[in-house]
Amino acid sequence: MGRKYFGTDGVRGRVGESPITPEFVMHLGYAAGQVLVADRGRLPPNQHPTVLIGKDTRISGYMLEAALEAGFAASGVNVLMTGPMPTPAVAYLTRALRLQAGVVISASHNPFEDNGIKFFSESGQKLPDSVEEAIEARLDHPITTVEARHLGRARRIEDAPARYIEFCKSTFPNHLDLRGLRIVVDCANGATYHIAPHVLHELGAEVIAIGNAPNGLNINEECGATHTRTLSDAVKTHRADLGISLDGDGDRLMMADAKGRIYDGDQLVYVIARHRIQCSYMKGGVVGTLMTNLGTEHALQRLHIPFERAKVGDRYVLERLQANGWTLGGETSGHILCLDKHTTGDGIVSALQVLRALRETGETLEAFTADLQTYPQVMINVPTRRDVKLDDIPGVQSAIGEAETALNGSGRVVLRASGTEPVIRVMVESRENADAQHWARTIAEAVSRAIGG
């Protein structure tokens, strides 16, 4: 069974348009609650399942939170609400509080006009496809409210930020601190605005926080992990040692060195992997994605670290890590998984692993990545309003064939539909930037013609 509403990162879309409407989100909460009620597991017969709901700072979060709460209550599920909290914090608290599920209201790095719903299991991991499909199947049924005596209750928990701050700090070695470091942290006017600066400050750093004044409309607006020029400029302006940039829900990470040079997810995973090999606590290899830079793969090979590619999406990176028994993986976009520290991608925790490497070795980001030579990558997003099977379009396949013949093993072509936006992503990677530019444009034009763009 295919999934109609769930993409690679939950349900997402423009607020007010299907499926991100109050009516649908209430029905989604009810359907998810029904699945939880049907699978009570170890709960006593008279005990309600309980879910945790967190959100980022979008203005639409209030509306969708109320709709979710109503849907869960109608199905007989209790609700705990945290207010604005990073996505990985909800994953952690769901597990720590022994709850049946966690829900995050967020569209991650998207603008404030979008929003979404994503779920975590009781173990703090994203739901498997089978459970998402079970929820979707329940959406075909009307809402039938349980008897009044069985309705769920809702309450807010006030100490969620403090709990999560302590958890983040616990992933950094006790014998280390950040004293003497001036760090700029860009919170993207998102869910980490009241978390990340405190974590770094309590570990001893001098913290300069930017993007920490959310107003409901400015999340990810010219700031955060998708707009790293803001971080780069701030690091140079404040003469900081390092910069940390998170996205709206706190699961992505980009960093900058004292020169303002930006380091993406591939480079930061390499830093963590190289340090772990040096300290003999690397478990297995690294999982990247189809988008991971070929230079990263080659650099890891020189360190004799196994490397494997998964489909794009941190859920697929997680699947391969679990299958292999490995602990480290990530995406170029900044989703980094350190499964020995957390069950899901976490921007703050990942930053602390990079900082550990720098503190224990005394090296800079530039020095640590000197052996990593990334190849130029060109990404072009082609808008689409309909589902397209690109494998069935000869014009596109012939353009890809020409590109691969011309690159002759010195680059890669990746063509895929985004799981979070209505676009086809065309990526070409080559040792020569001019070749990457040319073939990315050529293939993107072929895609546009094929879909009537």
Question: Catalytic residue positions?
Answer: 108
Q: Which residues of 195-212 are buried (b: 16+ CB within 10 A; e: fewer)?
A: bbbbbbbebebbbbbbbb
Nearest residue to 376 (alpha-carbon basis) of 437, 307, 417, 334 = 437
Contacts of 107 (CB under 8 A, 6+ apart): 12, 56, 58, 114, 115, 116, 248, 420
Cβ atoms of 86 and 195 within 8 Å: the answer is: yes
Nearest residue to 344 (alpha-carbon basis) of 101, 167, 125, 128 = 125
Instruction: Please state, in angstroms and rounded to a whole number, the distance separating the CA atoms of residues 400 and 147.
Output: 59
Instruction: Please state, in angstroms and rounded to a whole number, the distance separating the CA atoms of residues 79 and 72.
Output: 7
Instruction: Please state, in angstroms and rounded to a whole number, the distance separating the CA atoms of residues 434 and 441.
Output: 11
Q: Taken in order 17, 416, 374, 281, is the CA torsion positive or negative?
A: positive
Query: Is there a cis peptide before residue 19, judged by omega within 30 degrees of 0?
Result: yes
Instruction: Please state, in angstroms and rounded to a whole number, the distance separating the CA atoms of residues 237 and 234.
Output: 5
Helices 265-278 & 294-302 angle (0-180, nearest 10): 10
CA 65 from centre of chain: 20
Beta-carbon count within 10 A of 138 CB: 19
Instruction: Please state, in angstroms and rounded to a whole number, the distance separating the CA atoms of residues 112 and 81.
Output: 21
**Burial of 164 per CB tally in 10 Å (0-12, 13-18, 19+):** buried
Cβ atoms of 119 and 68 within 8 Å: the answer is: no
Beta-carbon count within 10 A of 279 CB: 12
Q: Which two tokens stand for residue 42?
A: 């170890």
The CA-based dihedral angle spanning residues 380, 447, 412, 321, taken in that order and rounded to the nearest 10 degrees = 80
Cβ atoms of 300 and 307 within 8 Å: the answer is: yes
3-class state of residue 259 by DSSP: coil
